[in-house]
Amino acid sequence: MSDSQLPMWQRWAQFRFSVIGELLSCPPPKGELQKAISQLAQKSYRHPIDSNRLISFGPSTIERWYYKAKTASDPIAVLGRKIRSDAGVRWSMPEALLQALRVQYDNYPRWNVQLHYDNLKAMAKEQACLKDVPSYKTVLRCMRENGWLKTNAPAQPTNGQLRAEKRRQNREIRGFEVSHVHGLWHLHQTTLAYSPYHGKQETFWGQLESRLMELLRGIENLELPFVNQAAQAWVEQDYHRKYHREIKTTPLNRLFNGTDVSRSVPDSDALRLAFTRRITRRPRRSDATVVVDGIRYELPFRFAHLPSVILRAPGWDKSQMVLVDPDTDAPLARLLPQDKTKNASGKRRLIQPDRNTAAPVPSTDRPLPALLRKWMADYAATGLPPAYIPKEEIER
């Protein structure tokens, strides 16, 4: 993945890690940490976003990064830009105003956002508790984030249409097809060729050849299980316990008593997610699905209203599709390919209501919407006669 495709927080995190990396991989001697940090503060670094800019940092900033990453199991995650504690909270939309907008959408789902906004402004003039209505853009973003999108439901629905609408609101919508002879799609999995690096440690191999191999040279009919067992015994009982003149101790003592800069290994899910590509898709609103490389995947229905989603998946395994948070890349849910044959059974998962959402209150905007009442009152205040002859007057 190129740097331009990485999320902003990760580019900053990798940059900060590169600044303090030498302090973590090769810790300075006792009492020399502040000197090493001061030397790093005197350097200029290329900006991680704007490559034409050079930036520098104070010693206190670098010291803070160092202590953050020193004890963390994942230094990249802790060095990323911190998400604000009030992220996702709209201070310009008070709870009373948000509740009024929610009730208004429940009563008039066919309205577009502009009409919702104009009616909300008219309601705010009648009800002092609603206070000032924010801008149209704020209301638009609020409705999109909550999934309050305009519907094309019939204006005067029949009983059957009302039952269908109730089911649609309480059950997931999934595409389906009846089963037939051949499968709908075929998943062919391939693996990449394994190309290990051929590293060579001269001292280690020299001892291996001069000690272990010489002991094995005179044995006839060697078998691989015996060679593996003998090699393990040689490493544990001879190589690890033999004095090393370069480190002036045995490798085993150096392991237990030396400076430890190791970190805990991430779990298998985190490692698997690290070797994936980042994919952006726009969900289909009707059945909450996305298409990647010709395969349609089903999203959890609570994410169906999002304008776009971020996915992570390896290029060689299309069954490992993961929905992640766009800001932190934290996994949210694993996606599975759409199975239209199973969906034909008609079984649908119930849509669980949001626990943080308050129970709807009866609308105070009946029988006429506030905007319509305002128009009629303003027109009546002009004192102008109607621009038509009322039917009642013709009958007289």
**pLDDT for res 187:** 36
Q: Are residues 303 and 274 in the same domain?
A: yes
Under a CB-based contact definition with an 8 Å cutoff, are residues 285 and 305 in contact?
Answer: yes
Q: What is the pLDDT of residues 278-297, one digit of tens each?
A: 889 998 887 888 888 888 89
Is 92 contained in some domain?
A: yes
Q: Are residues 67 and 16 in the same domain?
A: yes
Q: What is the pLDDT of residues 320-354, one digit of tens each?
A: 889 998 888 888 988 888 887 777 777 776 766 66
Q: Which of 21, 46, 79 is the last residue of a domain?
A: 79
Q: Are residues 279 and 306 in the same domain?
A: yes
Q: Which of 79, 107, 126 is the last residue of a domain?
A: 79
Q: In the chain, what is the greatest distance between 2 CA atoms, to the nearest angstrom?
A: 128
Is 239 contained in some domain?
A: no
Mean pLDDT for 82-107 is 80
**pLDDT for res 198:** 36
Q: Are residues 108 and 66 in the same domain?
A: no
**pLDDT for res 356:** 56
pLDDT band, very low/low/confident/very high, at 40 (cuts 50, 70, 90): very high
Region of poorest pLDDT, from 67-81, 192-206, 303-317 = 192-206
Mean pLDDT for 60-67 is 91
Q: How many percent of the chain have pLDDT more than 90?
A: 10
Give the count of domains, the chain.
3
Judged against a pLDDT cut of 90, whether residue 58 lies above it is answered with yes
Q: What is the pLDDT of residues 150-161, one digit of tens each?
A: 887 776 778 887
Q: pTM, whole model, 2 decimals?
A: 0.50
Region of poorest pLDDT, from 38-47, 201-210, 251-260, 265-274 = 201-210
Is 74 contained in some domain?
A: yes
**pLDDT for res 191:** 35
Q: Are residues 381 and 307 in the same domain?
A: no
For residues 195 and 275, the model is more confident at 275
Q: Are residues 100 and 75 in the same domain?
A: no
Distance (Å, rounded) from C-alpha 151 to C-alpha 321?
30
Q: Are residues 113 and 65 in the same domain?
A: no
Is 253 contained in some domain?
A: no
Q: Are residues 72 and 147 in the same domain?
A: no
Is 111 contained in some domain?
A: yes
Under a CB-based contact definition with an 8 Å cutoff, are residues 40 and 83 in contact?
Answer: no
Region of poorest pLDDT, from 17-26, 192-201, 225-234, 326-335 = 192-201
Helices 113-126, 136-145: crossing angle, 10 deg rounding = 110
120: nearest Cα among 98, 142, 137:
98
Q: Are residues 157 and 109 in the same domain?
A: yes
Is 257 contained in some domain?
A: no
Q: Are residues 337 and 393 in the same domain?
A: no
Is 98 contained in some domain?
A: yes
Query: 30: domain range?
Result: 3-79
Q: Are residues 392 and 329 in the same domain?
A: no
**How high does pLDDT run on average in the chain?**
79
